[in-house]
Structure 1
Amino acid sequence: MSTTAKRRLLIVLLLGLIPWTVVTVSGTVTLVLPFGLIDAQSWRLLTLPEYLRLSGGRVAPFIEAWPLSVFLYAGTLVSAIGGVFGREDPRLTGGFLALTAVGQLPFVFGLSQRFGYTAIPVGIVLMLAAAWWCYWPMVRASSG
């Protein structure tokens, strides 16, 4: 088991625990995480499945980017876990991580288009930084 692979896995795990987007509306702050929404005032969690159920499956097209990004993040996580056991392709893990970040762009842009909404893409920036820092050097080294 590689210590470096464990560190990469820890980084990927931490990316699943931080807010991917911070949304402000009229002084109210909502944290968008891969598993749900947290109202920063009451600290109430509304899980992603609960949100989709309450919406009746009818959400704005840009909101569909959120569960899609969660799916891509799951691929990142599975690949990073494989790295701990020596079975990781850094191109796959880094690619999934970058796609997770890019997949959040429609979500952030869609929210930002709404009057009075501000969407801060915390996760996008950190995911792209992690893909660059942790995986790009290995991708370059493997392409020779």
Structure 2
Amino acid sequence: MLLVLLVGIAPWSIQTYTSGSVTFLFAWGLFTPSPPSATTITDFFLRFTLGLPDYILVWPLGVACYLVALASVVAGFVFDHEDVRLTVAGLACAGLTQLEVARGFSLQPGRTALPLGTVLLWAVAAYFYWSRAR
């Protein structure tokens, strides 16, 4: 359960700009360290929805997939009844959505996005698949 929780608080995408600034995309929102600012995912989609590109719209879908995986792990911890298929599928799908988010950000001039979440989510999914799905 700890691995799934940790991957949920790690940055899922890191956007770097040619100006030297950095923005971290988390499951909960965006954070820019300089100057420090944070935007929650709910603020992003409820307040700043005008003209959002398609690739960013998969971000909340990835969060929903992650929450499915988290619910499966919590059910295993609390009720001793985890469906590993749900855990693995949720993590794998969340990783796929973050790959699309990073790809979309990287297509913008002066910006590069590193899909850290994809790597982490897929690694945890692979761990669950190989260690528990036998």
Distance 1:57 1:67, change over 3 A: farther
Tell whether the 8 Å contact from 1:94 to 1:136 is kept in structure 2 after alignment.
no
For residue 132 of structure 2, the aligned residue among 108, 125, 138 is: 138
Q: AA paired with 1:73? A: Y
For residue 127 of structure 1, the aligned residue among 116, 121, 128 is: 121
The structure having more radius of gyration, on CA atoms, is 1
Tell whether the 8 Å contact from 1:31 to 1:38 is kept in structure 2 after alignment.
yes
1:89 equivalent in structure 2: 83
1:105 equivalent in structure 2: 99
Please give the TM-score of this superposition, normalised by the length of structure 2.
0.92
Separation in structure 2 between the aligned mates of residue 116 and residue 64 of structure 1, nearest angstrom: 21
Q: AA paired with 1:107? A: V
Q: Deviations over 1:35-80 (max 9, x none)?
A: 1000022332110111112323531000001111011111111111
Over the aligned positions, Cα root-mean-square deviation in angstroms equals 1.2
1:10 equivalent in structure 2: 2
2:70 equivalent in structure 1: 77
Unmatched 5+ stretches in structure 1: 1-8
Q: AA paired with 1:122? A: L
Give the total of aligned pairs: 132
Q: Partner of 2:15: helix, strand, or coil?
A: strand
Please give the TM-score of this superposition, normalised by the length of structure 1.
0.86
